[in-house]
Amino acid sequence: MIPRYITDVDLSQLPRVRTDVVVIGVGIAGLYTALQASEFAQVMLIGKKGLDDSNTRWAQGGIAAVTAQTDSPALHLKDTLVAGAGLCSYEAVDVLVHEGPERLKELIEYGTNFDKDEQGQYELTKEGAHSQRRILHAHGDATGAEIVRALSERTRQTDQITVLENHFVIDVVTRQGECVGVLVMGPDGELFFVESTATVLATGGAGQLYRYTTNPDIATADGIAMAYRAGADIKDMEFIQFHPTVLHFPGAPRFLITEAVRGEGAILRNIDGERFMEKYHPQKELAPRDIVARAIISEMERTNSAYVYLDITHESEELIKHRFPTVYGFCLQYGLDMVTDWIPVSPACHYIMGGVQTDLHGETATKRLFACGEVSCTGVHGANRLASNSLSEAVVFGHRIVQRIKELPPLEAVRPLAFVRERKMTAIQTREQRIRLQKLMLRYVGLKRNEAGLKKAMAEMEKMLALFDCQSREKEAYELLNLLTVATLATRASLLRTESRGGHYRSDFPDKDDVNWRKHIIQSIDGGVREEVELSNVE
Protein backbone atom coordinates (compact mmCIF):
# COMPACT_ATOMS: atom_id res chain seq x y z
CA MET A 1 0.00 0.00 0.00
CA ILE A 2 2.97 2.33 0.45
CA PRO A 3 4.34 3.52 -2.92
CA ARG A 4 8.06 3.58 -3.76
CA TYR A 5 7.86 7.30 -4.51
CA ILE A 6 5.17 9.54 -3.09
CA THR A 7 4.88 11.94 -5.99
CA ASP A 8 4.91 11.68 -9.78
CA VAL A 9 7.88 13.44 -11.33
CA ASP A 10 10.23 13.24 -14.30
CA LEU A 11 13.78 14.13 -13.26
CA SER A 12 14.62 15.20 -16.79
CA GLN A 13 12.15 18.04 -16.39
CA LEU A 14 13.58 19.28 -13.10
CA PRO A 15 16.52 21.52 -12.23
CA ARG A 16 19.51 19.45 -11.10
CA VAL A 17 22.19 20.28 -8.53
CA ARG A 18 25.37 18.23 -8.03
CA THR A 19 27.25 17.90 -4.74
CA ASP A 20 29.58 15.39 -3.12
CA VAL A 21 27.57 14.84 0.06
CA VAL A 22 24.01 15.80 0.91
CA VAL A 23 23.03 15.84 4.61
CA ILE A 24 19.34 16.02 5.51
CA GLY A 25 18.66 17.46 8.97
CA VAL A 26 20.19 20.22 11.06
CA GLY A 27 20.38 18.76 14.57
CA ILE A 28 23.65 17.65 16.15
CA ALA A 29 23.92 14.66 13.78
CA GLY A 30 23.45 16.71 10.63
CA LEU A 31 25.55 19.71 11.64
CA TYR A 32 28.46 17.67 12.96
CA THR A 33 28.49 15.28 9.99
CA ALA A 34 28.34 18.15 7.53
CA LEU A 35 31.27 19.89 9.24
CA GLN A 36 33.34 16.71 9.25
CA ALA A 37 32.59 15.97 5.59
CA SER A 38 33.36 19.55 4.54
CA GLU A 39 37.03 18.95 5.32
CA PHE A 40 37.34 17.02 2.02
CA ALA A 41 34.05 17.42 0.13
CA GLN A 42 31.39 19.83 -1.06
CA VAL A 43 28.39 19.43 1.25
CA MET A 44 24.76 20.46 0.90
CA LEU A 45 22.95 20.67 4.26
CA ILE A 46 19.15 20.71 4.03
CA GLY A 47 16.88 21.77 6.90
CA LYS A 48 13.09 21.54 7.01
CA LYS A 49 13.15 24.83 8.92
CA GLY A 50 16.08 26.97 10.05
CA LEU A 51 19.42 25.84 11.49
CA ASP A 52 18.04 26.44 14.99
CA ASP A 53 15.02 24.16 14.55
CA SER A 54 15.76 20.58 15.59
CA ASN A 55 15.24 18.12 18.42
CA THR A 56 18.80 18.80 19.57
CA ARG A 57 17.94 22.37 20.47
CA TRP A 58 15.54 21.11 23.13
CA ALA A 59 17.92 18.56 24.68
CA GLN A 60 18.29 19.65 28.28
CA GLY A 61 20.15 16.94 30.16
CA GLY A 62 23.51 16.68 28.42
CA ILE A 63 25.95 14.41 26.63
CA ALA A 64 27.32 11.22 28.16
CA ALA A 65 31.04 10.47 27.78
CA VAL A 66 33.78 9.19 30.06
CA THR A 67 35.94 12.09 31.27
CA ALA A 68 36.35 11.52 35.04
CA GLN A 69 39.20 9.53 36.56
CA THR A 70 36.69 7.57 38.62
CA ASP A 71 34.78 6.50 35.50
CA SER A 72 35.70 4.12 32.68
CA PRO A 73 34.45 2.97 29.26
CA ALA A 74 33.74 -0.42 30.83
CA LEU A 75 31.34 1.13 33.33
CA HIS A 76 29.65 3.23 30.65
CA LEU A 77 29.28 0.12 28.50
CA LYS A 78 27.77 -1.87 31.36
CA ASP A 79 25.23 0.86 32.17
CA THR A 80 24.19 1.10 28.51
CA LEU A 81 23.75 -2.67 28.15
CA VAL A 82 21.68 -2.92 31.31
CA ALA A 83 19.38 -0.10 30.23
CA GLY A 84 19.03 -1.65 26.75
CA ALA A 85 17.40 -4.75 28.25
CA GLY A 86 19.36 -7.36 26.30
CA LEU A 87 18.99 -5.93 22.79
CA CYS A 88 21.99 -3.59 22.52
CA SER A 89 24.70 -4.48 20.02
CA TYR A 90 27.79 -5.02 22.16
CA GLU A 91 30.01 -3.92 19.27
CA ALA A 92 28.09 -0.68 18.72
CA VAL A 93 28.11 0.20 22.41
CA ASP A 94 31.81 -0.58 22.61
CA VAL A 95 32.41 1.88 19.76
CA LEU A 96 30.31 4.52 21.52
CA VAL A 97 31.99 4.39 24.90
CA HIS A 98 35.55 4.30 23.53
CA GLU A 99 35.18 6.91 20.78
CA GLY A 100 32.78 9.26 22.59
CA PRO A 101 35.42 11.17 24.60
CA GLU A 102 37.39 12.08 21.46
CA ARG A 103 34.27 13.27 19.66
CA LEU A 104 33.38 15.34 22.74
CA LYS A 105 36.72 17.13 22.40
CA GLU A 106 35.81 17.98 18.82
CA LEU A 107 32.52 19.52 19.94
CA ILE A 108 34.52 21.68 22.32
CA GLU A 109 36.94 22.59 19.52
CA TYR A 110 33.95 23.61 17.40
CA GLY A 111 33.08 26.12 20.13
CA THR A 112 30.66 24.34 22.49
CA ASN A 113 30.93 25.77 26.00
CA PHE A 114 30.09 23.13 28.59
CA ASP A 115 29.65 24.18 32.21
CA LYS A 116 32.70 24.26 34.48
CA ASP A 117 33.09 24.51 38.24
CA GLU A 118 35.08 27.12 40.16
CA GLN A 119 38.28 25.11 39.65
CA GLY A 120 37.80 25.12 35.88
CA GLN A 121 36.84 21.45 35.69
CA TYR A 122 33.83 20.33 33.68
CA GLU A 123 30.75 19.82 35.84
CA LEU A 124 29.36 16.30 35.60
CA THR A 125 25.87 15.18 36.48
CA LYS A 126 24.14 11.83 36.80
CA GLU A 127 20.89 10.64 35.24
CA GLY A 128 18.74 7.54 35.43
CA ALA A 129 20.55 4.16 35.12
CA HIS A 130 24.02 5.77 35.08
CA SER A 131 26.33 4.43 37.80
CA GLN A 132 28.68 7.43 37.57
CA ARG A 133 28.56 11.17 37.07
CA ARG A 134 29.57 11.36 33.40
CA ILE A 135 27.13 13.77 31.75
CA LEU A 136 28.39 17.15 30.63
CA HIS A 137 25.88 19.98 30.37
CA ALA A 138 25.76 23.59 29.22
CA HIS A 139 24.04 26.65 30.73
CA GLY A 140 22.65 24.31 33.38
CA ASP A 141 19.93 22.63 31.36
CA ALA A 142 20.33 24.07 27.84
CA THR A 143 22.94 21.66 26.48
CA GLY A 144 21.29 21.06 23.13
CA ALA A 145 20.80 24.75 22.44
CA GLU A 146 24.48 25.44 23.15
CA ILE A 147 25.65 22.61 20.89
CA VAL A 148 23.38 23.82 18.07
CA ARG A 149 24.64 27.39 18.55
CA ALA A 150 28.27 26.36 18.26
CA LEU A 151 27.85 23.97 15.35
CA SER A 152 25.50 26.21 13.35
CA GLU A 153 27.85 29.18 13.73
CA ARG A 154 30.76 27.09 12.47
CA THR A 155 28.60 25.74 9.64
CA ARG A 156 27.68 29.22 8.40
CA GLN A 157 31.39 30.11 8.37
CA THR A 158 32.35 27.07 6.27
CA ASP A 159 32.56 27.76 2.52
CA GLN A 160 32.40 24.06 1.65
CA ILE A 161 28.86 23.79 3.08
CA THR A 162 25.81 25.09 1.21
CA VAL A 163 22.88 25.47 3.60
CA LEU A 164 19.30 25.19 2.33
CA GLU A 165 16.86 26.22 5.05
CA ASN A 166 13.08 25.79 4.80
CA HIS A 167 13.45 23.03 2.22
CA PHE A 168 11.69 19.67 2.43
CA VAL A 169 13.18 16.42 1.14
CA ILE A 170 10.39 14.35 -0.39
CA ASP A 171 12.21 11.16 -1.30
CA VAL A 172 15.54 9.42 -1.58
CA VAL A 173 16.23 8.65 -5.25
CA THR A 174 17.72 5.25 -6.10
CA ARG A 175 19.06 3.55 -9.20
CA GLN A 176 19.43 -0.23 -9.15
CA GLY A 177 19.42 -0.32 -5.35
CA GLU A 178 21.93 2.50 -4.99
CA CYS A 179 21.14 5.97 -3.63
CA VAL A 180 21.94 8.69 -6.16
CA GLY A 181 20.49 11.73 -4.40
CA VAL A 182 17.26 13.26 -3.18
CA LEU A 183 14.13 14.96 -4.51
CA VAL A 184 13.69 18.33 -2.78
CA MET A 185 10.83 20.82 -2.50
CA GLY A 186 11.76 24.45 -1.96
CA PRO A 187 9.86 26.98 0.18
CA ASP A 188 7.71 28.04 -2.80
CA GLY A 189 6.82 24.48 -3.78
CA GLU A 190 9.34 24.17 -6.61
CA LEU A 191 10.97 20.74 -7.06
CA PHE A 192 14.59 19.99 -7.89
CA PHE A 193 16.94 17.01 -7.83
CA VAL A 194 20.14 16.95 -5.76
CA GLU A 195 22.58 14.40 -7.17
CA SER A 196 25.21 13.23 -4.68
CA THR A 197 27.94 10.67 -4.13
CA ALA A 198 26.64 10.06 -0.59
CA THR A 199 23.38 10.89 1.18
CA VAL A 200 23.13 11.15 4.97
CA LEU A 201 19.77 11.02 6.75
CA ALA A 202 19.94 13.01 10.00
CA THR A 203 16.25 13.87 10.15
CA GLY A 204 15.56 13.06 13.80
CA GLY A 205 12.73 11.02 15.21
CA ALA A 206 8.98 10.55 15.07
CA GLY A 207 7.60 12.28 18.15
CA GLN A 208 4.64 13.70 16.25
CA LEU A 209 3.19 10.21 16.10
CA TYR A 210 1.68 11.09 19.49
CA ARG A 211 -0.49 13.95 20.72
CA TYR A 212 1.72 14.37 23.77
CA THR A 213 5.41 14.63 22.95
CA THR A 214 8.54 16.49 23.93
CA ASN A 215 9.47 16.75 20.23
CA PRO A 216 8.98 19.87 18.09
CA ASP A 217 6.48 19.82 15.22
CA ILE A 218 9.19 18.95 12.67
CA ALA A 219 9.65 15.43 14.10
CA THR A 220 7.42 13.69 11.58
CA ALA A 221 9.40 10.49 10.87
CA ASP A 222 10.46 11.71 7.41
CA GLY A 223 13.85 9.99 7.30
CA ILE A 224 12.61 6.59 8.45
CA ALA A 225 9.78 6.65 5.93
CA MET A 226 12.03 7.79 3.06
CA ALA A 227 14.60 5.11 3.83
CA TYR A 228 11.88 2.45 4.02
CA ARG A 229 10.55 3.44 0.61
CA ALA A 230 14.12 3.40 -0.75
CA GLY A 231 14.67 -0.22 0.30
CA ALA A 232 16.58 0.24 3.57
CA ASP A 233 15.85 -2.02 6.55
CA ILE A 234 13.87 -0.59 9.46
CA LYS A 235 14.67 -2.13 12.83
CA ASP A 236 13.15 -2.27 16.34
CA MET A 237 10.28 0.16 15.72
CA GLU A 238 8.27 -1.18 18.66
CA PHE A 239 10.70 0.39 21.12
CA ILE A 240 9.45 3.91 21.78
CA GLN A 241 10.66 5.80 24.82
CA PHE A 242 8.27 7.93 26.83
CA HIS A 243 9.98 10.49 29.03
CA PRO A 244 8.61 10.07 32.56
CA THR A 245 8.54 13.72 33.60
CA VAL A 246 6.87 16.18 31.25
CA LEU A 247 5.05 19.23 32.61
CA HIS A 248 1.31 18.61 32.93
CA PHE A 249 -0.35 21.90 33.85
CA PRO A 250 -3.44 23.75 32.53
CA GLY A 251 -2.53 26.21 29.80
CA ALA A 252 1.09 25.04 29.54
CA PRO A 253 2.59 23.02 26.67
CA ARG A 254 4.05 19.58 27.35
CA PHE A 255 7.47 20.83 28.40
CA LEU A 256 10.28 18.38 29.20
CA ILE A 257 11.51 18.35 32.80
CA THR A 258 15.00 16.95 32.35
CA GLU A 259 15.96 13.69 34.00
CA ALA A 260 18.89 15.55 35.54
CA VAL A 261 16.39 17.03 38.06
CA ARG A 262 16.01 13.53 39.46
CA GLY A 263 19.75 13.07 39.09
CA GLU A 264 20.23 15.99 41.45
CA GLY A 265 17.87 14.52 44.06
CA ALA A 266 14.26 15.18 43.05
CA ILE A 267 11.71 12.56 44.08
CA LEU A 268 8.36 11.50 42.63
CA ARG A 269 5.16 11.70 44.66
CA ASN A 270 1.66 10.59 43.73
CA ILE A 271 -1.39 12.82 43.98
CA ASP A 272 -1.62 11.95 47.69
CA GLY A 273 1.92 13.15 48.31
CA GLU A 274 3.39 9.67 48.79
CA ARG A 275 6.80 8.78 47.40
CA PHE A 276 6.27 5.61 45.36
CA MET A 277 9.27 4.61 43.25
CA GLU A 278 10.74 2.29 45.91
CA LYS A 279 7.76 0.01 45.21
CA TYR A 280 8.80 -0.40 41.59
CA HIS A 281 12.62 -0.53 41.41
CA PRO A 282 15.63 -0.52 43.77
CA GLN A 283 17.10 2.49 41.93
CA LYS A 284 13.92 4.40 42.70
CA GLU A 285 13.73 7.68 40.74
CA LEU A 286 16.94 6.80 38.89
CA ALA A 287 15.63 3.55 37.42
CA PRO A 288 15.63 3.24 33.61
CA ARG A 289 13.14 5.54 31.91
CA ASP A 290 10.71 2.84 30.79
CA ILE A 291 10.34 1.60 34.36
CA VAL A 292 9.83 5.08 35.80
CA ALA A 293 7.29 6.00 33.11
CA ARG A 294 5.20 2.86 33.69
CA ALA A 295 5.41 3.32 37.44
CA ILE A 296 4.00 6.83 37.04
CA ILE A 297 1.17 5.52 34.86
CA SER A 298 0.41 2.83 37.44
CA GLU A 299 0.21 5.42 40.23
CA MET A 300 -1.97 7.69 38.09
CA GLU A 301 -4.35 4.81 37.44
CA ARG A 302 -4.35 3.70 41.08
CA THR A 303 -5.10 7.18 42.38
CA ASN A 304 -7.36 8.23 39.48
CA SER A 305 -5.15 11.19 38.64
CA ALA A 306 -3.84 12.74 35.40
CA TYR A 307 -0.36 13.41 36.82
CA VAL A 308 2.09 12.87 39.66
CA TYR A 309 4.44 15.37 41.28
CA LEU A 310 8.17 15.96 40.91
CA ASP A 311 9.55 17.35 44.16
CA ILE A 312 12.96 19.00 44.48
CA THR A 313 11.95 21.50 47.16
CA HIS A 314 14.33 19.88 49.66
CA GLU A 315 17.33 21.03 47.61
CA SER A 316 18.77 24.54 47.89
CA GLU A 317 17.44 27.46 45.88
CA GLU A 318 20.98 28.09 44.65
CA LEU A 319 21.35 24.59 43.22
CA ILE A 320 17.94 24.65 41.53
CA LYS A 321 18.44 28.00 39.83
CA HIS A 322 22.05 27.27 38.85
CA ARG A 323 21.48 23.78 37.43
CA PHE A 324 18.02 24.23 35.92
CA PRO A 325 17.58 27.83 34.80
CA THR A 326 15.59 26.85 31.69
CA VAL A 327 13.17 24.56 33.53
CA TYR A 328 12.90 26.96 36.47
CA GLY A 329 12.13 29.95 34.22
CA PHE A 330 9.61 28.04 32.12
CA CYS A 331 7.68 26.73 35.12
CA LEU A 332 7.68 30.19 36.70
CA GLN A 333 5.82 31.54 33.66
CA TYR A 334 2.88 29.42 34.78
CA GLY A 335 3.10 30.26 38.48
CA LEU A 336 5.09 27.16 39.46
CA ASP A 337 8.22 27.77 41.55
CA MET A 338 10.50 24.71 41.67
CA VAL A 339 12.07 26.02 44.87
CA THR A 340 8.78 25.81 46.79
CA ASP A 341 6.29 23.90 44.60
CA TRP A 342 5.88 20.32 43.54
CA ILE A 343 5.74 20.20 39.74
CA PRO A 344 2.87 18.20 38.12
CA VAL A 345 4.25 15.80 35.50
CA SER A 346 3.20 12.86 33.35
CA PRO A 347 4.92 10.78 30.63
CA ALA A 348 5.04 11.85 26.97
CA CYS A 349 6.63 10.45 23.82
CA HIS A 350 10.31 11.34 23.74
CA TYR A 351 12.60 9.13 21.64
CA ILE A 352 12.48 6.30 19.09
CA MET A 353 15.06 3.58 19.82
CA GLY A 354 14.37 1.91 16.49
CA GLY A 355 14.93 3.38 13.06
CA VAL A 356 16.94 2.87 9.89
CA GLN A 357 19.26 -0.08 10.46
CA THR A 358 22.93 0.75 9.92
CA ASP A 359 26.25 -0.98 10.24
CA LEU A 360 29.09 0.31 12.44
CA HIS A 361 29.85 2.97 9.83
CA GLY A 362 26.32 4.28 9.57
CA GLU A 363 25.62 2.72 6.16
CA THR A 364 22.19 1.28 5.39
CA ALA A 365 21.18 -1.66 3.22
CA THR A 366 20.78 0.85 0.38
CA LYS A 367 24.26 1.63 -0.95
CA ARG A 368 25.51 5.22 -0.55
CA LEU A 369 22.66 5.94 1.90
CA PHE A 370 23.69 6.59 5.50
CA ALA A 371 21.73 7.39 8.66
CA CYS A 372 22.84 9.15 11.82
CA GLY A 373 21.20 10.29 15.05
CA GLU A 374 17.68 9.40 16.14
CA VAL A 375 16.59 8.40 12.63
CA SER A 376 19.10 5.54 12.76
CA CYS A 377 19.22 2.26 14.62
CA THR A 378 22.91 1.62 15.22
CA GLY A 379 22.30 -0.97 17.95
CA VAL A 380 23.51 1.33 20.75
CA HIS A 381 20.16 1.83 22.48
CA GLY A 382 18.65 -1.65 22.37
CA ALA A 383 15.16 -1.72 23.83
CA ASN A 384 15.61 1.38 26.00
CA ARG A 385 18.00 4.32 25.52
CA LEU A 386 20.30 5.21 28.39
CA ALA A 387 19.87 8.89 29.21
CA SER A 388 22.17 11.32 27.34
CA ASN A 389 23.68 8.64 25.09
CA SER A 390 21.90 10.01 22.03
CA LEU A 391 24.06 13.11 21.56
CA SER A 392 27.20 10.97 21.92
CA GLU A 393 25.85 8.46 19.41
CA ALA A 394 25.21 11.22 16.87
CA VAL A 395 28.80 12.47 16.81
CA VAL A 396 30.47 9.07 17.16
CA PHE A 397 28.63 7.57 14.20
CA GLY A 398 28.64 10.85 12.27
CA HIS A 399 32.44 10.67 12.36
CA ARG A 400 32.38 7.03 11.23
CA ILE A 401 30.02 7.86 8.36
CA VAL A 402 32.42 10.49 7.09
CA GLN A 403 35.33 8.05 7.21
CA ARG A 404 33.30 5.60 5.13
CA ILE A 405 32.27 8.28 2.62
CA LYS A 406 35.95 9.02 1.99
CA GLU A 407 36.27 5.49 0.59
CA LEU A 408 33.36 5.75 -1.86
CA PRO A 409 34.12 5.98 -5.58
CA PRO A 410 32.57 8.98 -7.36
CA LEU A 411 29.00 8.58 -8.53
CA GLU A 412 28.44 8.22 -12.26
CA ALA A 413 26.12 10.79 -13.78
CA VAL A 414 22.45 9.89 -13.28
CA ARG A 415 20.42 9.47 -16.44
CA PRO A 416 16.90 10.96 -16.41
CA LEU A 417 14.48 8.98 -14.29
CA ALA A 418 10.71 9.14 -14.12
CA PHE A 419 8.56 8.13 -11.14
CA VAL A 420 4.99 7.12 -11.85
CA ARG A 421 2.96 5.66 -9.03
CA GLU A 422 0.89 2.58 -9.72
CA ARG A 423 -2.33 4.09 -8.44
CA LYS A 424 -4.00 7.40 -7.79
CA MET A 425 -5.43 8.11 -4.38
CA THR A 426 -8.14 10.33 -3.01
CA ALA A 427 -7.31 13.59 -1.25
CA ILE A 428 -7.86 13.78 2.50
CA GLN A 429 -7.83 16.48 5.17
CA THR A 430 -4.30 16.25 6.53
CA ARG A 431 -4.81 18.11 9.82
CA GLU A 432 -7.80 16.04 10.90
CA GLN A 433 -6.14 12.80 9.86
CA ARG A 434 -2.94 13.66 11.71
CA ILE A 435 -4.88 14.19 14.95
CA ARG A 436 -6.77 10.95 14.33
CA LEU A 437 -3.48 9.09 13.90
CA GLN A 438 -2.00 10.62 17.06
CA LYS A 439 -5.05 9.54 19.05
CA LEU A 440 -4.76 5.98 17.71
CA MET A 441 -1.09 5.81 18.65
CA LEU A 442 -1.65 7.23 22.12
CA ARG A 443 -4.53 4.90 22.90
CA TYR A 444 -3.32 1.64 21.36
CA VAL A 445 0.45 1.92 20.74
CA GLY A 446 1.48 3.91 23.80
CA LEU A 447 3.06 2.95 27.10
CA LYS A 448 0.78 -0.07 27.50
CA ARG A 449 -0.34 -2.26 24.60
CA ASN A 450 -2.32 -5.42 23.90
CA GLU A 451 -3.27 -7.55 20.92
CA ALA A 452 -6.82 -6.27 20.54
CA GLY A 453 -5.78 -2.63 20.60
CA LEU A 454 -2.85 -3.12 18.25
CA LYS A 455 -5.02 -4.94 15.71
CA LYS A 456 -7.60 -2.17 15.86
CA ALA A 457 -4.92 0.47 15.34
CA MET A 458 -3.45 -1.42 12.38
CA ALA A 459 -6.84 -1.77 10.70
CA GLU A 460 -7.55 1.95 11.08
CA MET A 461 -4.11 2.92 9.74
CA GLU A 462 -4.56 0.71 6.69
CA LYS A 463 -7.87 2.47 5.96
CA MET A 464 -6.14 5.85 6.23
CA LEU A 465 -3.36 4.77 3.86
CA ALA A 466 -5.88 3.56 1.31
CA LEU A 467 -7.35 7.08 1.07
CA PHE A 468 -4.09 8.94 0.82
CA ASP A 469 -2.99 11.37 -1.89
CA CYS A 470 0.03 13.64 -2.32
CA GLN A 471 -1.00 15.29 -5.59
CA SER A 472 -1.38 18.66 -3.83
CA ARG A 473 2.41 18.73 -3.22
CA GLU A 474 1.93 20.15 0.24
CA LYS A 475 4.55 19.49 2.91
CA GLU A 476 1.83 18.63 5.43
CA ALA A 477 0.50 15.86 3.19
CA TYR A 478 3.97 14.35 2.75
CA GLU A 479 4.54 14.53 6.50
CA LEU A 480 1.26 12.75 7.18
CA LEU A 481 2.14 9.92 4.82
CA ASN A 482 5.53 9.61 6.51
CA LEU A 483 3.86 9.46 9.92
CA LEU A 484 1.34 6.90 8.70
CA THR A 485 4.12 4.76 7.23
CA VAL A 486 6.13 4.72 10.44
CA ALA A 487 3.02 4.24 12.59
CA THR A 488 2.23 1.04 10.70
CA LEU A 489 5.83 -0.17 11.12
CA ALA A 490 5.72 0.50 14.88
CA THR A 491 2.29 -1.09 15.28
CA ARG A 492 3.17 -4.20 13.27
CA ALA A 493 6.36 -4.75 15.27
CA SER A 494 4.48 -4.20 18.55
CA LEU A 495 1.92 -6.80 17.53
CA LEU A 496 4.59 -9.34 16.61
CA ARG A 497 6.65 -8.98 19.81
CA THR A 498 4.67 -11.05 22.31
CA GLU A 499 6.65 -10.04 25.39
CA SER A 500 7.50 -6.89 27.36
CA ARG A 501 10.98 -5.39 27.13
CA GLY A 502 12.33 -1.87 27.50
CA GLY A 503 10.15 0.68 25.74
CA HIS A 504 7.68 -2.01 24.61
CA TYR A 505 5.11 -3.20 27.16
CA ARG A 506 2.34 -5.70 26.38
CA SER A 507 -0.22 -6.03 29.17
CA ASP A 508 -1.19 -9.43 27.71
CA PHE A 509 2.48 -10.53 27.72
CA PRO A 510 3.91 -8.62 30.72
CA ASP A 511 7.16 -10.60 31.13
CA LYS A 512 10.45 -10.45 29.27
CA ASP A 513 11.02 -13.63 27.23
CA ASP A 514 14.72 -14.11 26.46
CA VAL A 515 14.17 -17.62 25.14
CA ASN A 516 11.97 -16.52 22.25
CA TRP A 517 12.45 -12.78 21.94
CA ARG A 518 16.08 -11.85 22.42
CA LYS A 519 15.97 -10.78 18.80
CA HIS A 520 15.13 -7.87 16.53
CA ILE A 521 12.21 -7.29 14.19
CA ILE A 522 13.36 -5.91 10.85
CA GLN A 523 10.99 -4.63 8.18
CA SER A 524 11.67 -3.72 4.55
CA ILE A 525 9.41 -2.63 1.71
CA ASP A 526 10.71 -5.44 -0.53
CA GLY A 527 11.48 -8.20 1.96
CA GLY A 528 8.55 -7.96 4.35
CA VAL A 529 9.33 -8.81 7.98
CA ARG A 530 12.15 -10.92 9.39
CA GLU A 531 13.68 -11.60 12.79
CA GLU A 532 17.36 -11.50 13.76
CA VAL A 533 18.71 -12.99 16.99
CA GLU A 534 20.81 -10.58 19.08
CA LEU A 535 24.13 -12.38 19.43
CA SER A 536 25.55 -10.15 22.17
CA ASN A 537 25.56 -12.26 25.32
CA VAL A 538 26.28 -9.47 27.78
CA GLU A 539 23.48 -7.61 29.55
Q: For residue 361, which of 371, 347, 351, 374 has the smallest C-alpha distance?
A: 371
- Torsions phi, psi for 185 (to 5 deg): -110, 125
- The DSSP symbol for 214 reads S
For 57-91, how does the pLDDT look when each residue is reduced to its tens digit (9 = 90+)? Answer: 767 779 999 999 999 999 999 999 999 999 999 99
Mean of the per-residue pLDDT values for the chain?
Answer: 93
Checking if the pLDDT of 477 tops 80, the result is yes
Q: Which domains does the chain have, with CATH numbers?
A: 243-349 (3.90.700.10), 424-533 (1.20.58.100)
pLDDT at 425 (0 to 100): 44
Per-residue confidence at 428, pLDDT binned at 50, 70, 90?
Answer: low
* Most distant pair of Cα atoms in the chain: their distance: 68
Q: Are strands 63-64 and 9-10 parallel, antiparallel or unpaired?
A: unpaired
Q: What mean pLDDT is predicted for residues 6-16?
A: 88
Is the pLDDT at 264 greater than 80? The verdict is yes
pLDDT at 472: 60
Give the model's pLDDT for residue 483: 96
pTM: 0.94
Q: Is 121 exposed, middle or buried (0-12, 13-18, 19+ CB in 10 A)?
A: exposed
Closest CA to 376 of 201, 214, 152: 201
Q: Is it the case that residue 352 has pLDDT exceeding 80?
A: yes
pLDDT tens sequence across 506-532: 999 999 999 999 999 999 998 899 999
**Beta 124-125 vs 135-136: how paired, if at all?**
antiparallel
* Nearest C-alpha neighbor of 415 from the set 169, 229, 180: 180
From 98-112, 207-221, 329-343, 413-427, the region with the lowest mean pLDDT: 413-427
Measured CA to CA, the distance from residue 286 to residue 299 in angstroms comes to 17
pLDDT at 539 over 70: no
Please give the positions annotated as active site. Answer: 289
pLDDT band at 423 (very low <50, low <70, confident <90, very high): very low
Q: Which of 207, 178, 218, 275 lies closest to 490 in space, CA to CA?
A: 207
pLDDT of residue 469: 61
**pLDDT category of residue 338 using cuts at 50, 70 and 90:** very high
Rounded CA separation 430/469 (Å): 10
Q: What is the pLDDT of residues 360-394, one digit of tens each?
A: 999 999 999 999 999 999 999 999 999 899 999 99
How much of the chain exceeds pLDDT 70, in percent? Answer: 96
Question: What mean pLDDT comes out for the span 467-495?
Answer: 87
User: Which tens digits make up the pLDDT trace of 135-167?
Assistant: 999 988 889 899 999 999 999 999 999 999 999
